[in-house]
């Protein structure tokens, strides 16, 4: 219970998020962490006796060692002991790095990451990760959804404190009486769920595009011009189709669905199992470059303008949302319409994420988390928040 | 790293929140917790060999033992060992129970509670608690602000991952570029803060009253009638002055301010040091009963109606908010005006809490948490979420 021993930290990936994370980590006063290893795409350093300092960039570029994750696994697992924790921070978006999580976890190394791949790809990998973490290291992935926003932690609290009552009439009765306590009766239907539905704008890119494009008015800027500006500002991937396909949202929904793990939800084989309504016009499905894609997108402006006008006529806005609908057993991503009085219309701005948790306890008025859901500073903060949970 | 030993849990307070908490706790499948003690205002049970089950109510009322917190301290501290955690859950709102936290913490017992008293009263008690927790048990108090909403946890993450850069021009430059990473430079001005301002509707009672009273229109129901209905629904304390004095909000602000612990904030001697603008008309300051208070409140309806009309004329609503203004070094609770387009006007409803964190990293668009901030079910969930952090 007294003073905690130092925790050894190794970082793979030193790009935008990685660099920001290292700087945040090294700024912690009286830090409980020893940074022992860095790995970029071209170099690596490992030094467990002299922890890495703020001169890390020059130290790393001066290193003659090439990245070797299998050697790193050996070096780190040699440090693990019953009294010594080791954390590996994966700040890449690599499938190859993700594939090593079960190995790391089973040797007692904890894995902390904003990389969505391991938790949203093949369910076999995910199951291995969960199994390895039961007896080995911990895995923490708050920053995979909403960056530094408290999304995964909130969902885990909702799920682990779930009282598994059946809902329906009960839920309706509670909706207008937040102050009147409902005493839970333990036991009951184990298939019933505390979480009823999660609904949100999970992509900062999609948030920006539709906050600009659809404000409730019948007209506005052309869809293609909004996408073009978003790309120029660096809000989209180099090829905007990589955002407009909805896969980023499908991956985040997969991560959340697997945490809920309700028998009423489909067991997602991978993020590809999510019902995802891509925004890429079929004629532009296989355009090889972003420039070409942007050049041809205006051909479809009339189509998007029509949807906007129809929504406006009904007092609605368009938003690209993700929904985990536990009650109806559906996980879907796509463009949906919301009244102009809905928080997705009134409260959202910039490239914010907004996530609504509809649960039994929160009744008719959901728990809402909102804020920047992308960017290196807030993503690194989400990762560091997880690392601090190991202390 | 392998299987965790059981954690012994003792609960003081079995009222609305306490009962709900016990039922939630006993519903956890493969629970890592052993419930060893319950204490009500009139009885206590302690049984470390046969953990308490769902028959707890009859067991407790059948007990001949009177509550004795000093004896409980001895019983629990005897269970603490380097491999054995013990948690005391204070589900009361008692100052007397709060005064024992330093003793419990220093013997290695962790304290988890929705009771605001210890963290918002005399700073000497708070300092003792913090000091005792450094070498002893942990204290976790998520449910003291916003019940089950992730407020304290989010603030702690913001503070502990804070990079302590100076702000000003930098902040403005970042406000419209959430996707463009700002690489932090470590070191710098240690007086600068990651958290710039926290602003929110922290009282469910005040939220309900002003959501009903001030909608942006020039007229509406009389203030006294809204308070009367809120009281009838059980949303206020039996004596509504206990809500209208703003002390509940001042206590919550004190808790948040002490977590931020910025040298630019006043060191609050207690919640009474918060600049609190009470809503109790001076002439009604010392009305002894709630009934009398409600009977006389209509005398002041014109005053509140005038404020509402003035706000409406300026396109604003009235909300009773709490503000921790780190930059300007002020902590205040009172009635303020917000544009009808502000989330406090558009997004708020029912008796929801809404809390905005303005920070350097989140730039011009704050991190927002919203939802029910009171009620036994969500408060118990906040407490149980904390308890699960000990596993």
Full pLDDT tens readout for chain B, 391 residues: 444 578 999 999 999 999 999 999 999 888 899 999 999 999 999 998 888 989 999 999 999 999 999 999 999 999 999 889 999 999 999 999 999 999 999 999 999 999 999 999 999 999 999 999 999 999 999 999 999 999 999 999 999 887 443 332 223 233 333 333 333 333 333 333 489 999 999 999 999 999 999 999 999 999 999 999 999 999 999 999 999 999 999 999 999 999 999 999 999 999 999 999 999 999 999 999 999 999 999 999 999 999 999 999 999 999 999 999 999 999 999 999 999 999 999 989 899 999 999 999 888 899 999 999 999 999 999 999 999 999 8
Token duo for residue A123:
């369910």
Q: Calculate mean pLDDT across residues A310-315.
A: 98
Condensed to tens digits (0 to 9), the pLDDT of residues A237-254 reads: 999 999 999 999 999 999
Q: Which of A181, A189, A360 to mutate to test the interface with B (most CBs of B within 10 A)?
A: A181
**CB–CB contact A375 B23 (8 Å):** no
State the nearest Cα–Cα gap between A176 and chain B, in angstroms: 8
The span from the CA of B35 to the CA of B86, in Å, is 10
Of the partner residues B80, B164, B179, the one whose CB lies closest to the CB of residue A235:
B179
In chain B, residues with a C-beta closer than 8 Å to the C-beta of A203 are: none
Closest CA to B358 of B175, B196, B171: B196
Rg of chain B over all Cα atoms, to the nearest angstrom:
23
Instruction: Quote the pLDDT of residue B167.
Output: 32
Instruction: Quote the pLDDT of residue A4.
Output: 54
In chain A, residues with a C-beta closer than 8 Å to the C-beta of B368 are: 347, 368-371
- What are the residues whose beta carbons fall under 8 Å from the beta carbon of A180, sequence distance 6 or more? A174, B233, B234, B375
Three-class SS of residue A333?
A: strand
Structure confidence at residue A33 as a pLDDT band (50, 70, 90): very high
Q: Which residue does chain B place closest to A105, by CA atoms?
A: B1
Residues B190-210 as b or e (16 or more Cβ within 10 Å = b): eebbbbbbbbbbbbbbbbbbb
Spacing of C-alpha B34 from chain mean position: 27
The share of chain B scoring above pLDDT 70, in percent, equals 91
Q: Which residue does chain B place closest to A235, by CA atoms?
A: B179
Instruction: Quote the pLDDT of residue B6.
Output: 87
Instruction: Quote the pLDDT of residue B364.
Output: 81
Instruction: Quote the pLDDT of residue A130.
Output: 97
Of the partner residues B16, B23, B183, the one whose CB lies closest to the CB of residue A20:
B183
**CB–CB contact B184 A150 (8 Å):** no
Q: Which of B16, B381, B383, B390 to mutate to test the interface with A (most CBs of A within 10 A)?
A: B381
Three-class SS of residue B290?
A: helix
The span from the CA of A28 to the CA of A51, in Å, is 14
Lowest mean pLDDT among A203-212, A226-235, A369-378, B192-201: B192-201
DSSP letter assigned to residue A214: -
The span from the CA of A36 to the CA of A92, in Å, is 18
Closest CA to B363 of A142, A377, A353, A232: A377
The span from the CA of A226 to the CA of A43, in Å, is 39
Question: What is the rounded average pLDDT for all residues in chain A?
Answer: 90
Q: Calculate mean pLDDT across residues A294-313.
A: 98
Structure confidence at residue A79 as a pLDDT band (50, 70, 90): very high
Instruction: Quote the pLDDT of residue B193.
Output: 47
Instruction: Quote the pLDDT of residue B4.
Output: 54
Residue found under tokens 């020893």: A34
Of the partner residues A23, A26, A362, the one whose CB lies closest to the CB of residue B371:
A362
Of the partner residues B27, B136, B374, the one whose CB lies closest to the CB of residue A163:
B27
In chain A, residues with a C-beta closer than 8 Å to the C-beta of B164 are: 27
**CB–CB contact B365 A352 (8 Å):** yes
DSSP letter assigned to residue B350: T
State the nearest Cα–Cα gap between A369 and chain B, in angstroms: 5
Q: What is the pTM of this model?
A: 0.90
**CB–CB contact B375 A181 (8 Å):** yes
Instruction: Quote the pLDDT of residue B391.
Output: 86
In chain A, residues with a C-beta closer than 8 Å to the C-beta of B163 are: 23-24, 27
Between strands B195-201 and B352-359, the pairing is antiparallel
How many residues does the structure list for chain B?
Answer: 391
In chain B, residues with a C-beta closer than 8 Å to the C-beta of A135 are: 1-3
Closest CA to A333 of A249, A252, A271, A244: A249
Question: Mind telling me the catalytic residues of A?
Answer: 252
**CB–CB contact A187 B27 (8 Å):** yes
Condensed to tens digits (0 to 9), the pLDDT of residues A132-190 reads: 999 999 999 999 999 999 999 999 999 988 744 333 323 323 333 333 333 333 333 33
Condensed to tens digits (0 to 9), the pLDDT of residues B36-95 reads: 999 999 999 999 888 898 999 999 999 999 999 999 999 999 999 988 999 999 999 999
Binding-site members of B for L-homoserine are: 237
DSSP string, A3-31: SPPPEEEEEE--SHHHHHHHHHHHTSTT-
Cα of first residue to Cα of last residue in chain B, in angstroms, is 11
Residue pair B88/B18 in contact (Cβ under 8 Å)? The answer is no
- What are the residues whose beta carbons fall under 8 Å from the beta carbon of B279, sequence distance 6 or more? B244, B245, B246, B320, B335
- What are the residues whose beta carbons fall under 8 Å from the beta carbon of B4, sequence distance 6 or more? B32, B391
Q: Which of A86, A361, A391 to mutate to test the interface with B (most CBs of B within 10 A)?
A: A361
Active-site pick, B85, B117, B228, B252: B252
Lowest mean pLDDT among A2-6, A223-227, A354-358, B194-198: A2-6
A254 CB-side CA count, 13 A: 25
In chain B, residues with a C-beta closer than 8 Å to the C-beta of A176 are: 350
State the nearest Cα–Cα gap between A80 and chain B, in angstroms: 10
Helices (H), chain A: 16-26, 56-62, 69-77, 95-98, 101-106, 117-120, 123-135, 152-160, 169-174, 204-213, 223-232, 241-244, 247-260, 290-296, 301-313, 343-346, 376-388
Of the partner residues B20, B366, B372, the one whose CB lies closest to the CB of residue A184:
B20
DSSP string, B25-45: HHT-TT-SEEEEEEE-SS-EE
Q: Calculate mean pLDDT across residues A296-315.
A: 98
Q: Which residue does chain A place closest to B178, by CA atoms?
A: A375
Which region holds residue A287: left if phi is over 0, alpha if psi is between -120 and 50, else beta? beta
Between strands A33-39 and A44-46, the pairing is antiparallel
Q: Which residue does chain B place closest to A110, by CA atoms?
A: B1
Instruction: Quote the pLDDT of residue A163.
Output: 41
User: Residue B67: is it exposed, middle or buried by C-beta count within 10 angstroms (0-12/13-18/19+)?
Assistant: middle
Q: Calculate mean pLDDT across residues A13-23.
A: 96
Structure confidence at residue A76 as a pLDDT band (50, 70, 90): very high
The span from the CA of B22 to the CA of B14, in Å, is 8
Closest CA to B40 of B57, B24, B25: B57
């Amino acid at each position: 219970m007294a003073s905690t021993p130092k925790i050894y930290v190794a970082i793979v990936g030193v790009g935008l998020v990685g660099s920001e994370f290292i700087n945040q980590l090294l700024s912690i006063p009286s830090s409980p962490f020893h940074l022992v290893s860095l790995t970029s795409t071209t170099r690596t350093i490992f030094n467990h006796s002299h922890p890495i300092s703020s001169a890390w960039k020059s130290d790393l570029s001066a290193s003659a060692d090439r990245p070797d994750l299998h050697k790193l696994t050996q070096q780190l697992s040699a440090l693990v002991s019953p009294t010594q924790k080791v954390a590996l921070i994966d700040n890449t978006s690599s499938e190859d790095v993700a594939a090593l999580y079960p190995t790391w976890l089973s040797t007692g190394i904890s894995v902390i990451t904003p990389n969505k791949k391991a938790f949203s790809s093949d369910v076999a990998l995910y199951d291995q990760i969960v199994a390895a973490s039961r007896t080995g290291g911990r895995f923490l992935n708050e920053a995979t959804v909403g960056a530094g926003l408290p999304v995964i932690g909130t969902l885990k609290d909702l799920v682990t404190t779930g009282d598994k009552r059946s809902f329906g009439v009960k839920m309706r009765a509670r909706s207008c009486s937040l102050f009147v306590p409902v005493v839970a009766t333990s036991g009951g239907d184990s298939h019933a769920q505390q979480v009823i539905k999660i609904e949100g704008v999970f992509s900062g890119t999609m948030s920006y595009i539709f906050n600009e494009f659809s404000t409730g008015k019948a007209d506005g800027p052309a869809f293609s011009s909004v996408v073009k500006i978003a790309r120029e500002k660096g809000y989209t991937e180099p090829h905007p189709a990589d955002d407009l396909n909805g896969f980023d949202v499908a991956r985040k929904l997969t991560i959340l669905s697997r945490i809920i793990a309700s028998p009423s939800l489909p067991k997602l084989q991978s993020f590809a199992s999510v019902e995802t309504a891509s925004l890429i016009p079929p004629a532009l499905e296989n355009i090889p470059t972003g420039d070409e894609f942007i050049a041809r997108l205006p051909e479809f402006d009339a189509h998007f303008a029509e949807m906007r006008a129809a929504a406006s006529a009904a007092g609605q806005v368009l938003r690209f949302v993700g929904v985990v609908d536990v009650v109806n057993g559906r996980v879907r991503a796509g463009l949906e319409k919301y009244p102009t009085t809905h928080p997705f219309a009134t409260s959202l701005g910039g490239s914010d994420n907004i996530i609504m948790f509809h649960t039994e306890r929160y009744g008719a008025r959901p728990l809402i988390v909102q804020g920047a859901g992308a960017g290196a500073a807030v993503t690194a903060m989400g990762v560091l928040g997880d690392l601090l949970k190991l202390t």
